[in-house]
């Protein structure tokens, strides 16, 4: 067993075993930093670095580290076989020489083994050992406090080895003290410092620029490096200050030396730190942060869109090393932001190539595919973690020529999109519709559908084949989006991306992250509300356009029943076609309310229009056989097992049963328009004939030019009772 902190700590020359923790990916940088700080026996390991040092060394690391989260002083370690051994081992540490009984403490416990399966249990055992020690020494029991504890103890177990430490920092060292407000996607100061260092920042760099500066963290960390400012100089609270063996004289000397170094560098500095952002509130926060650091006079903050950014040319010729651009653009994590983020990177890359020749550039991105959209060749990449998010830092040397690289298939895709647009836009205008399909996996490697809804595009990604790597499929999808933005007249904020895979059961109407991209589109003489962002489907199935119009044509003075009505678009066509009665039945209250809005949009009011919330299969079974409807529109899902349905619907298995139930409600000479979207659907005409039902296949006529290359997208049949 090792015990590292005892009465011998009273001598300044005592050497301690310490561990500096850091985020994954920062270990090599932390190793270099600790070596430069002059500590001995530095050893890199996962999650941090071990080192040896005296009390002054420990203080110096706390004050000067830009990369560590905590500095832990080893108090003891032992091998344990049983959980009950832990309090006994911990009680051997001279806790009374570390803190007083009237002080509060907290335990941070990590790790697990066969004996310790919960960190709370592990922390309880450590606490018991500490309390036992105080009692054995005849002292009062100290109290645990989760709020502002005086002393923070850290313990870790790995297999049978237990180690416990004194946390010298107290609060995490990424909290420098200068950032009291932050944006919605804050970058930890320690990660920001790593980005700056990896990007090539030195104490000779005189111009640093961030076009996505937010609250200024990257620039301010760069400024502290350039101005020899210790990161902890603004902090007022430290864990070691409440330790019984704290030496205030040594600490104040180290702090005074750091202040003198900063003052000296600041007096001689001719560096500039320039931040642009399109959020005025964030710029104000950045300015306040710079003021707290005492460097506001070296910083410039300006409201600017990064897509139009150019180099601050009047400063680019400043003496010193190559000017440095560092940034952390948006990651586009929320659904609906992907396209805007993709195109932002594309345009930002073009601006870098055109306006930043002679600069060094570091870009921290949430995805390699985003970086590819910049179409610049990086000379180095690093994997870093922003909290739980894996990120990539890419470095670009723009002092070298940067020819734009393209993909050989780009002309094929661009040509196909332009050809489709020129052909189908004219057809749609003549047809009287402004919602139509532009592209449907015309080129197999670009496996997506693209639909036009007035001034918007909806891109629906199909699931890639299993033999296509996910990264390849994603890169192809984003290349498609990039090409759409370049070749067609649609802005990024009017594009939305959806991942369409084979749906079943409760997935079929999966709701997406709310964004509210809503449009009113017209289809012949009807208008419909479509939501392009918040649901897997938009509220209007474009391929059923012909079927809806056909329903309208045969509905004059007829009673019409629309089963599985969804947003009631077919019901609207029936009503506009002059139906004397329209009944819409659907299980979803949300979609029926949407359908009522569609009726209002088309100025259709009256008691002749009914909306019934019910399980369609159950509702059909409950209806008494009687001649009630002239026309029944039946467009069921391929498969459904909604929790609110009493039965599971499989349209291939159940279509005969559904048609027989519906036919019980037909008037003489009545018709059923039956459609579905099941691939390779087979109509059982033999069983239908036994039920005295005859069928006319309208499928080929119902597929409009924008779906012409997708013959199996749906099936449509007209079903009548035989004479």
CATH number for 457: 3.30.750.80
Q: What is the pLDDT of residue 405?
A: 58
- Looking at the DSSP assignment, which residues form a beta bridge with residue 452? 436, 457
Backbone angles phi, psi at 89, to 5 degrees: -65, -45
687 with 577, same domain: the answer is: yes
Residue 248 lies in a domain: no
496 with 539, same domain: the answer is: no
Residue 402 lies in a domain: no
pTM of the entire structure?
A: 0.76
Q: What is the pLDDT of residue 507?
A: 37
493 with 530, same domain: the answer is: no
Alpha carbons 609 and 552: distance in angstroms, whole number: 15
647 with 706, same domain: the answer is: yes
**CATH code of 694's domain:** 3.40.50.150
Alpha carbons 293 and 230: distance in angstroms, whole number: 11
Residue 249 lies in a domain: no
For 260-296, what is the HEC assignment? HHHHHHHHHCCCEEEEEECCHHHHHHHHHHHHHHCCH
Residue 19 lies in a domain: yes
CA distances from residue 631 to 319, 579, 666, 709 in whole angstroms, order as listed: 82, 10, 7, 30
Residues 246 and 355 sit within 8 Å (Cβ to Cβ): no
443 with 421, same domain: the answer is: yes
- Looking at the DSSP assignment, which residues form a beta bridge with residue 153? 107, 166
Q: Which of these three, 501, 535, 561, is where a domain ends? A: 501
Mean pLDDT by 10 residues, the chain (723 residues): 45 81 96 96 96 96 98 95 92 95 95 88 95 96 93 94 96 92 77 97 93 96 97 94 94 97 94 95 95 96 90 66 92 66 89 93 90 91 89 94 61 94 96 97 92 96 85 86 91 82 40 71 97 90 97 97 97 98 97 98 97 95 93 92 65 94 95 94 93 95 92 92 85
**CATH code of 109's domain:** 3.30.2130.30
Residues 201 and 222 sit within 8 Å (Cβ to Cβ): yes
Q: What does the DSSP assignment read for 383-412? A: EEEETTEEEEEEEEETTS--PPP--TTHHH
Which DSSP letter does residue 180 get?
S
- For residue 260 the two structure tokens come to 């003198």
583 with 532, same domain: the answer is: yes
457 with 589, same domain: the answer is: no
Q: What is the pLDDT of residue 406?
A: 52
Residue 669 lies in a domain: yes
463 with 555, same domain: the answer is: no
Q: Which of these three, 501, 526, 552, is where a domain ends? A: 501
Q: Domain total for the chain?
A: 4
Alpha carbons 200 and 202: distance in angstroms, whole number: 6
- For residue 719 the two structure tokens come to 């079903």
Q: Which of these three, 364, 397, 430, is where a domain ends? A: 397
Helix, strand, or coil here: 226? helix
Contacts of 373 (CB under 8 A, 6+ apart): 342, 343, 345, 346, 349, 478, 482
- For residue 682 the two structure tokens come to 């087979």
Looking at the chain, how many residues does it have?
A: 723
653 with 688, same domain: the answer is: yes
Name the helix (H) or strand (E) containing 488: none
Structural domain of 295: 189-225+270-397
85 with 209, same domain: the answer is: no
Residue 512 lies in a domain: no
Residue 250 lies in a domain: no
Q: What is the pLDDT of residue 712?
A: 83
Contacts of 68 (CB under 8 A, 6+ apart): 20, 21, 22, 30, 33, 48, 61, 173, 190
Name the helix (H) or strand (E) containing 453: strand 448-453
Q: What is the pLDDT of residue 514?
A: 59
- Looking at the DSSP assignment, which residues form a beta bridge with residue 460? 449, 498
77 with 210, same domain: the answer is: no
Q: What is the pLDDT of residue 254?
A: 97
CA distances from residue 234 to 179, 289, 343, 671 in whole angstroms, order as listed: 10, 11, 39, 80
Residue 204 lies in a domain: yes
Q: What is the pLDDT of residue 172?
A: 94
Q: What is the pLDDT of residue 599?
A: 98
Q: What is the pLDDT of residue 4?
A: 46
372 with 417, same domain: the answer is: no
């Amino acid at each position: 067993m090792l015990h590292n902190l005892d009465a011998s700590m009273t001598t300044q020359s005592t050497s301690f075993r310490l561990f500096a923790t850091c985020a994954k990916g920062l270990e090599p940088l932390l190793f270099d930093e600790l070596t430069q700080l002059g500590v001995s026996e530095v050893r890199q390991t996962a999650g941090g670095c071990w080192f040896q040092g005296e009390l002054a060394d420990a203080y110096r690391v706390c004050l000067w580290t830009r990369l560590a989260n905590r500095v832990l002083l080893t108090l003891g370690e032992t091998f344990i076989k049983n959980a009950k051994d832990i309090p006994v081992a911990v009680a051997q540490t001279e806790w009374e020489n570390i803190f007083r009984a009237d002080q509060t403490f907290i335990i941070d416990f990590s790790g697990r083994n066969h004996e310790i399966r919960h960190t709370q249990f592990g922390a309880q055992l450590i606490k018991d050992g500490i309390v036992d020690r105080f009692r054995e020494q005849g002292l009062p029991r100290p109290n645990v406090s989760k709020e502002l504890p005086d002393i923070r103890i850290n313990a870790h177990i790995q297999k049978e080895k237990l180690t416990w430490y004194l946390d010298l920092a107290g609060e995490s060292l990424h909290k420098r003290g200068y950032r009291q407000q932050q944006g919605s996607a804050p970058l930890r100061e320690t990660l920001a410092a790593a980005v700056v260092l990896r990007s090539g920042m030195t104490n000779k760099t005189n111009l640093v620029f961030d076009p996505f500066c937010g609250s200024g963290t990257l620039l301010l960390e760069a400024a502290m490096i350039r101005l020899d400012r210790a990161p902890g100089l603004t902090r007022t609270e430290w864990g070691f200050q409440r330790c019984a063996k704290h030496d205030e004289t040594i600490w104040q000397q180290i702090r005074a030396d750091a202040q003198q170094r900063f003052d000296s560098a600041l007096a001689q500095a001719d560096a500039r730190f320039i931040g642009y952002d399109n959020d005025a509130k964030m710029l104000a926060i950045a300015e306040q942060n710079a003021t707290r650091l005492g460097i506001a006079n070296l910083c410039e903050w300006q409201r600017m869109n990064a897509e139009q950014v150019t180099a601050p040319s009047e400063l680019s010729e400043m003496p010193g090393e190559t000017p440095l651009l560092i940034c952390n653009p948006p990651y586009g994590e929320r659904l609906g932001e992907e396209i805007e983020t993709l195109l932002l990177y594309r345009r930002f890359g073009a601006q870098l190539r055109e306006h930043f020749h002679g600069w060094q550039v570091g870009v921290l991105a949430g995805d390699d595919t985003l970086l590819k959209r910049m179409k610049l060749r990086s000379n180095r990449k690093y994997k870093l973690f922003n909290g739980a998010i894996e990120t990539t830092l890419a470095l670009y040397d723009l002092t070298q020529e940067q020819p734009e690289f393209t993909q050989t298939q780009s002309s094929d895709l661009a040509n196909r999109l332009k050809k489709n647009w020129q052909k189908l836009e004219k057809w749609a205008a003549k047809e009287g519709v402004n919602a139509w399909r532009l592209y449907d996996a015309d080129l197999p490697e670009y496996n997506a559908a693209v639909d036009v809804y007035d001034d918007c595009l909806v891109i629906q990604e199909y699931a890639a084949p299993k033999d296509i790597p996910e990264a390849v499929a994603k890169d192809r999808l984003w290349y498609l989006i990039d090409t759409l933005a370049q070749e067609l007249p649609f802005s990024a904020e009017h594009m939305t991306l959806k991942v369409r895979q084979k749906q079943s059961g409760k997935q079929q109407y999966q709701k997406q992250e709310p964004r509210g991209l809503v449009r009113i589109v017209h289809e012949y003489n009807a208008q419909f509300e479509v939501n392009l962002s918040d649901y897997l489907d938009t509220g209007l199935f474009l391929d059923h356009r012909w079927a809806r119009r056909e329903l309208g044509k045969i509905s004059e003075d007829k009673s019409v029943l629309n089963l599985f009505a969804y947003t009631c678009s077919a019901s609207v066509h029936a009503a506009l076609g002059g139906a004397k009665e329209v009944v819409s039945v659907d299980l979803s209250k949300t979609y029926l309310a949407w359908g009522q809005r569609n009726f209002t949009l088309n100025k259709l009011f009256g008691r002749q229009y009914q909306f019934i919330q019910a399980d369609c299969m159950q509702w059909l079974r409950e209806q008494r056989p009687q001649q009630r409807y002239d026309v029944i529109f039946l467009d069921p899902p391929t498969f459904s097992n909604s929790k609110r349905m009493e039965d599971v619907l499989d349209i291939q298995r159940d279509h005969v049963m559904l048609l027989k139930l519906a036919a019980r409600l037909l008037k003489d000479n009545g018709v059923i328009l039956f459609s579905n979207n099941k691939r390779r659907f087979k109509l059982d005409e033999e069983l239908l004939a036994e039920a005295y039902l005859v069928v006319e296949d309208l499928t080929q006529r119902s597929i409009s030019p924008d779906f012409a290359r997708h013959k199996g997208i749906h099936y449509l049949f007209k079903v009548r009772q035989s004479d």
